[in-house]
């Protein structure tokens, strides 16, 4: 990605494929000049007032002056734009050929093709947003549940910055006191009260950092989700359960054992968490050659899953096959599920031979009984019963978490140094390290290679 913001950049900002409307975005010093060269407004007296839509046509600037499309165009003057530069948007018909043709004209008129995330990177470099807000834009685009969108919106509104900034200010105050004490070592009055600094760092730095770290795993859950595998013998109702959770006929269901030969997976929203739920081949010993491949795949998926739903047929007694399969999966986080309660006449099978099995959830996949209880059990299993993240919706991502861990360690070192009475200059070094880690989160000290990694996650045009 370019280091300079001097170029005028352009890109198609709507997804590939046919649609009613397509949008091309231009940002930079030449944006208005390019618009006036290519856009012929219906009203010849048009003066392009900022943030107003104008109707007209995009024409080739030379030669035949061929019309490429009927469009709406808007010019937005800096600094009141997404990038804090002059920005132009051209709203045309959503044909890829039309969009590409207009973009080629724009590039021929002096703009360069924007790199992935370059519009948002300019917004960050020009001070419109901090780095946590830029990352929140990625999270909004990638969110797979409403809860994930809500979390990303909190971050976009500055939730992380609002949590980090008071911690940073406390560190700045503590370090200023130490710097004064270092500069005036011969003063009779003790400038740096170590006992007071310990209380300040414990209450205003170490405690809030621990709270943010506590929410990091919740943030990962809502952003990345989990993988759940449905495991069980043939014909216990695995495919029926998948279909019921998805509320669609995604998997083929028959009374013939071994119908599912390969894994089938879909993403479903379970209480705000994106769950990749996987139906696998029934695991049995007397399988045919093709079914064996599906069983092998099922075992691989079980070993990599975050959680296993161990499905048991409630209409019959626990079999040796159930016990053998349970022995193969019980090392994983597991929820035992008894299916077919609609035909078991109220008498559930005795599970005492499945040693160590936790509390079961009884369901009927066919009659959609007990499904909400199962979803609640899944949520409790992956969140330890925590219903939502604390700290006002602030949930750090992995980059934030690593920086917070480093900041917490530096704060712990400073507290240890204060308690054993080390010199002020050594304590100040630890506080500065803590401060640098937090500044890296919001982008004040983040290196260019890290910025490139972050913004390369974006799609073109954002």
Same domain, 274 and 357: yes
State how far the Cα of 22 lies from the Cα of 63, in Å rounded to an integer.
26
Label residue 190 by pLDDT band (50, 70, 90).
Answer: low
State how far the Cα of 170 lies from the Cα of 164, in Å rounded to an integer.
10
State how far the Cα of 123 lies from the Cα of 28, in Å rounded to an integer.
12
Same domain, 176 and 291: no
Q: What's 311's domain CATH number?
A: 3.40.50.300
Same domain, 154 and 233: no
Same domain, 173 and 306: no
Q: Mean per-residue pLDDT for 179-204?
A: 78
Structure tokens at 427: 């304590």
| pLDDT value of residue 120 | 93
Same domain, 24 and 92: yes
Q: Which domain holds residue 54?
A: 9-130
Q: Mean per-residue pLDDT for 233-259?
A: 69
Mean pLDDT of the chain: 84
Q: Residue 26: which of 108, 139, 114 has the closest Cα?
A: 114
Label residue 25 by pLDDT band (50, 70, 90).
Answer: very high
Does residue 450 form part of some domain?
A: no
Q: What's 28's domain CATH number?
A: 3.30.1360.120
**Number of neighbours of residue 80 by Cβ within 10 angstroms:** 11
Does residue 152 form part of some domain?
A: yes
Largest CA distance in the chain: 90
Same domain, 232 and 338: yes
Does residue 135 form part of some domain?
A: no
Q: Residue 181: which of 437, 422, 435, 413 has the closest Cα?
A: 422
Same domain, 239 and 279: yes
Label residue 267 by pLDDT band (50, 70, 90).
Answer: confident
State how far the Cα of 16 lies from the Cα of 11, in Å rounded to an integer.
12
pLDDT greater than 50 at residue 397: yes
Q: What's 161's domain CATH number?
A: 1.20.120.430
Does residue 136 form part of some domain?
A: no
Same domain, 242 and 293: yes
Domains identified in the chain, total number: 3
Q: Mean per-residue pLDDT for 210-232?
A: 85
Same domain, 237 and 170: no
| pLDDT value of residue 391 | 46
pLDDT greater than 70 at residue 434: yes
E strands, 48-129, are 52-59, 67-76, 87-94, 112-113
Question: What is the pTM assigned to this prediction?
Answer: 0.77
| pLDDT value of residue 187 | 56
pLDDT greater than 90 at residue 266: no
Label residue 124 by pLDDT band (50, 70, 90).
Answer: very high
Same domain, 202 and 300: no
Does residue 362 form part of some domain?
A: yes
Q: Mean per-residue pLDDT for 334-359?
A: 81
Same domain, 74 and 189: no
Does residue 457 form part of some domain?
A: no
Residues with Cβ within 8 Å of 279's Cβ and at least 6 positions away in sequence, in order, are 230, 238, 239, 241, 242, 251, 260, 263, 264, 265
Same domain, 286 and 333: yes
């Amino acid at each position: 990605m370019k280091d300079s913001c001097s170029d005028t950049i352009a890109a198609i900002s709507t997804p590939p494929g046919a649609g009613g409307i397509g949008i091309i975005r231009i940002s930079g010093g030449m944006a208005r000049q390019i618009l006036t060269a290519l856009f012929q407004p219906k009203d010849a007296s048009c003066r392009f007032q900022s943030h107003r839509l104008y109707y007209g046509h995009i024409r080739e600037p030379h030669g035949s002056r061929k019309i490429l499309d009927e469009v709406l165009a808007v010019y937005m003057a800096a600094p009141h734009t997404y990038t804090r530069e002059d920005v132009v948007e051209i709203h045309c018909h959503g044909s890829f050929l039309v969009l590409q043709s207009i973009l080629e004209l724009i590039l021929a008129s002096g703009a360069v093709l924007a790199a992935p995330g370059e519009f948002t990177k300019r917004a960050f470099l020009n001070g419109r947003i901090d780095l946590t807000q830029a990352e929140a834009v990625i999270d909004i685009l990638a969110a797979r549940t409403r809860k994930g969108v809500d979390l990303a919106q909190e971050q976009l509104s500055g939730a992380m910055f609002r949590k980090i900034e008071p911690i940073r200010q406390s560190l700045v105050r503590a370090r200023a006191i130490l710097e004064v004490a270092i500069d005036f070592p011969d003063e009779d009055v003790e400038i740096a009260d170590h006992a007071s600094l310990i209380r300040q760092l414990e209450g205003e730095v170490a405690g809030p950092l621990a709270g943010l770290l506590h929410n990091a795993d919740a943030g990962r859950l809502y952003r990345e989700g989990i993988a759940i595998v449905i495991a069980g013998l043939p014909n216990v109702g695995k495919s029926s359960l998948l279909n019921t959770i998805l509320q669609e006929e995604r998997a083929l269901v028959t009374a013939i054992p071994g119908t599912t030969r390969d894994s089938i997976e879909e993403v479903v929203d379970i209480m705000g968490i994106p769950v990749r739920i996987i139906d696998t081949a029934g695991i049995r010993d007397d399988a045919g050659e093709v079914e064996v491949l599906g069983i092998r795949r099922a075992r691989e998926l079980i070993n990599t899953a975050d959680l296993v739903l161990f499905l048991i047929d409630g209409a019959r007694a626990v079999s040796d096959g159930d016990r053998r399969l349970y022995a193969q999966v019980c090392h994983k986080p597991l929820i035992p599920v008894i299916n077919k309660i609609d035909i078991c006449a109220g008498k559930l099978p005795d599970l005492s031979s499945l040693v160590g099995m936790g509390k079961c959830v009884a369901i009927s996949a066919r009659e959609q009984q007990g499904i909400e209880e199962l979803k609640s059990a899944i949520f409790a299993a992956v969140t330890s019963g925590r219903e939502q993240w604390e700290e006002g919706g602030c949930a750090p991502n992995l980059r934030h978490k690593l920086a917070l861990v480093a900041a917490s360690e530096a704060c712990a070192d400073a507290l240890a140094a204060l308690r054993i009475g080390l010199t002020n200059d050594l304590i100040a070094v630890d506080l500065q390290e803590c401060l640098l880690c937090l500044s890296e989160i919001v982008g004040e000290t983040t290196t260019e290679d890290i910025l490139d990694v972050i913004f390369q996650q974006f799609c073109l045009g954002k």
